[in-house]
Amino acid sequence: MEGNQKRQEPLSSSDWMAEAEAAMIRYCGAFSPILIGRAKGSYIYTNDGRAILDFTSGQMCSVFGHNHPEVAKAIAKASEESIHLLSTMLSPPVIQLCKELAAMLPEGLDKAILVNTGAESNEIALRMAKLSTGCFEVLGFTGSWHGMTAGANSSTYAAARHGYGPVIPGNRALPAPYAYRCPIRHCQGTCDHTCLEVGMELVDKQSVGSLAAVIIEPVLSAAGIIDLPEGYMAKLKRFCEERGMKLILDEAQTAMGRVGDAFAFERDGVVPDFLTLSKTLGGGLPLAATITSREIEEICHSRGFIYVTSHVSDPLPAEVGLAMLRVMEQEKLVERAREQGAYLKARLRELQERHECIGDVRGRGLLLGMEIVSDREKKTPAPDLGWRITERCLELGLSMNIVRFPGMGGVFRIAPPLTVSTEELDLGVAILDQAIADCVG
């Protein structure tokens, strides 16, 4: 070998975890104990050929199933044309995707920029909100997750805040409308928006008079699948308008039909100032978008707005985004998510009747939450039990994801691909049923 290059040994089938930990930065606590060889549809397959039903759609991104044929075709097409260009150079798929996104959305969501990740799309929205308003204070929900970059992470209150030093000045938290565990100990199961009113009163008292934006998810995912109650978003939008703030909706996990609407905000009839898309838009590839109004874009452009990265407006992911829009329409996946989501929620509530450790079942479409407790009446958190159930599910052939934060019982985020069959849903519920029984005894 020339120079200081190290000879690369083939991956050992028995010691792959040790090899991974020796070669990789451990970025997520502990790696999953299974090594994945391939993925297709609703399943992932271990390197030794074991099939595992995937109820998380990968990292919530393979919304139409793993390796959808149309996504593969789009990748092949882009590989024959162009994969990457100078950031100032545009290509037909980039322009076409921006046009098609705007055509799907109401007036006021007219112009788009394409980047890689949800954190990036939120960074753009935050930068444009601050530039267009001339202000810098940003509000976000307790339990929110908007990304790991500096601006997005400053408005992320689920985790990853401790030990990294100061966040960007001006960020403040609003209590999330977590009706099962009311943050202000007021509601019992049904949110009446009092937490929003109290939160805004506190913000007004703390603000230095430079309120720029609110950034929220229509369904908070990392917070434990908290669906904003009907009427909440309209009231929040009104509060924003009264204070000259911009409303940013982060639909990383709720767009592309996931909740039974093409976009989650459609249910509420409230048009945000910024819509950010990621995860589901790329179907497993890194693709994100920030969409805003012509007026805001014009103000920002006149003030010298800049956001240049190595992969802004890349042609390959844009080609995939166009394929995703076609698949959503042709396979009627919005309607499918609505129907299959209702079926799955009913099956989970059947489990709730049999297992006392299931405190709550909630969510919309195929983005559902199931909270695990040790005492249903007292809602006593049982995150460790939830984790044991997760591990047992994996042993039995089902990939589940649980979020565990202080004061929460441990909530399963259940998000199978929208292409999932009824038989696959039944299999997943059966495995979950057995896993709970095995862990509770």
Percent of the chain scoring above 70 in pLDDT = 96
pLDDT at 1: 45
In terms of CATH architecture, what is 31-64+332-440? Alpha-Beta Complex (3.90)
Q: Would you state the pLDDT for residue 182?
A: 85
> Average pLDDT for residues 297-311, to the nearest whole number?
97
Domain positions in the chain are 31-64+332-440, 71-330
Which of 15-29, 336-350, 413-427 has the lowest average pLDDT?
15-29
pLDDT at 7: 54
Whether the pLDDT of residue 18 is over 60: the answer is yes
pLDDT of residue 386: 94
Please state which of the ranges 71-75, 210-214, 288-292, 406-410 shows the lowest mean pLDDT: 406-410
Global confidence as pTM: 0.94
Supply the pLDDT for residue 399: 98
The yes-or-no verdict on residue 37 having pLDDT over 60 is yes
Instruction: Identify the pLDDT of residue 11.
Output: 60
Confidence category of residue 409, pLDDT binned at 50, 70, 90: low
Give the model's pLDDT for residue 400: 96
Q: Report residue 161's pLDDT band, with 50, 70 and 90 as the boundaries.
A: confident
Q: At residue 5, does pLDDT exceed 70?
A: no
Whether the predicted pLDDT of 201 surpasses 80: yes
pLDDT tens-digit map of 223-232: 999 999 999 9
pLDDT tens digits along 89-104 = 999 999 999 999 999 9
- C-alpha span between 291 and 105 (Å, rounded): 10
Interval 334-378: pLDDT, tens: 999 999 999 999 999 999 999 999 999 999 999 999 999 999 999
Q: What distances in angstroms separate CA 295 from CA 50, 107, 217, 247, one per listed residue?
A: 53, 11, 23, 15
Question: Which sequence positions are flagged as catalytic?
Answer: 145, 217, 250, 253, 279, 413
Mean pLDDT of the chain: 94
> Of 48-52, 91-95, 292-296, 409-413, where does mean pLDDT reach its minimum?
409-413
Whether the per-residue pLDDT at 74 is higher than 50: the answer is yes
Report d(CA 123, CA 191) in Å as an integer: 30
- Higher pLDDT: 185 or 89? It is 89
| Per-residue pLDDT at 19 exceeds 60 | yes
What average pLDDT score do residues 209-237 get?
A: 95
**pLDDT for 67 beyond 90:** yes
Each residue's pLDDT tens digit, 252-268: 999 999 999 999 999 99
Residue 288 or 189, more confident? 288
pLDDT grade for 185, boundaries at 50, 70 and 90: confident
Domains 31-64+332-440 and 71-330 share a fold: no
Least confident span in 14-23, 237-246, 333-342:
14-23
Q: Is the predicted pLDDT of residue 283 greater than 70, yes or no?
A: yes
Q: Which residues of 61-100 are buried (b: 16+ CB within 10 A; e: fewer)?
A: bbbbbbebebbeebbebbeeebeeeeeeeebebbeebbee
114-150 residue pLDDT tens: 999 999 999 999 999 999 999 999 999 999 999 999 9
Is residue 6 over pLDDT 90?
Answer: no
Comparing CA positions, the residue from 254, 221, 225 lying closest to residue 418 is 254
- The CATH number of the structural domain formed by 71-330 is 3.40.640.10
Q: What is the rounded average pLDDT of the residues 107-120?
A: 97
Within 13 A of 42's CA, how many CA atoms are on the CB side?
20
